[in-house]
Amino acid sequence: MSNPKDRKYTEEHEWVMIDDSTANTAVAGITDYAQDQLGDIVYFELPKVGDNITHLGKMGEVESVKAVSDLFSPIDGVVTEINEKLLDHPELVNRDPFGDGWIIKATMADAAALDGLMSAADYDAFIAGL
């Protein structure tokens, strides 16, 4: 699966994109590379609506059958919505990491901060080097 060009990426394998530019909200998830490395995902520990999240700060955990990993926030902001479907169907992230498997939505403190993250091409090169 190629990494969509309509969003930005972190070295922690999260993606983020503008969800609603007038409300300054972003949507974020983990990449296809991340879900593939994790294997079958069975559990998410997610932040609560209203929680403050900070760029590269821990915002939750993801567990697969064999692994546990922290989820890091790609942005500074406040959580406005979590993907409730993941609580019963965490495998959505394995199936569709860039679509139905989104993880959180948040209002951004500064939308310009996205400019500092990797483009799809940069991220392609980054994971090719791992």
Partner 1 sequence: MVQLAEIVAYAVTSLASDPGSSYDSQRVCAYLYFALWSIAHYGLMVTSDNLRTGLFDTHVELGGRIVPFGGWDMPVQYPNGILAEVKAVRTAAGVFDVSHMGRLYISGPKATEFLDWVLTGSASTLRVGRARYCLICNEKGGVIDDTIFYRLTDDRYLLIPNAGNRPAVMAWFQKWIDEKFSPGCSMEDVTTQTGLIAFQGPHTPDFIDQVFDNPLSGMRPFSWAEGSIQGVSVFVGRTGYTGEDGFELLVQGHDAVKIWTALTGSGAVPCGLGARDVLRLEAGLPLHGHELDEETTPIEAGLDRFVRREGTFISSQFLESQRMNGVAKKLVGFTLQGRSAPRAGYALLDNGEKIGTVTSGSYSPTLDTSIGMGYVLERYVEPGTILDLNIRGRTVPVTITDLPFYTRTRRT
67 is a contact residue toward partner 1 (CB under 8 A): yes
Give the three-state DSSP class for 85. helix
Using the minimum distance from each CB to partner 1, give the nearer residue, 45 or 81: 45
Contact set for partner 1, span 71-110 (CB under 8 A):
71-72, 90, 94
Smallest distance from the beta carbon of 100 to partner 1, in angstroms?
Answer: 18
Nearest in space to 70 (alpha carbons), one of 13, 3, 28, 116: 13
14 is a contact residue toward partner 1 (CB under 8 A): yes
Q: Please, are residues 11 and 5 in contact by the beta-carbon 8 Å criterion?
A: no
- Length of the chain equals 130
Binding positions for partner 1, rule: CB under 8 A: 12-14, 30, 34, 37-40, 42-43, 45, 61-72, 90, 94, 130
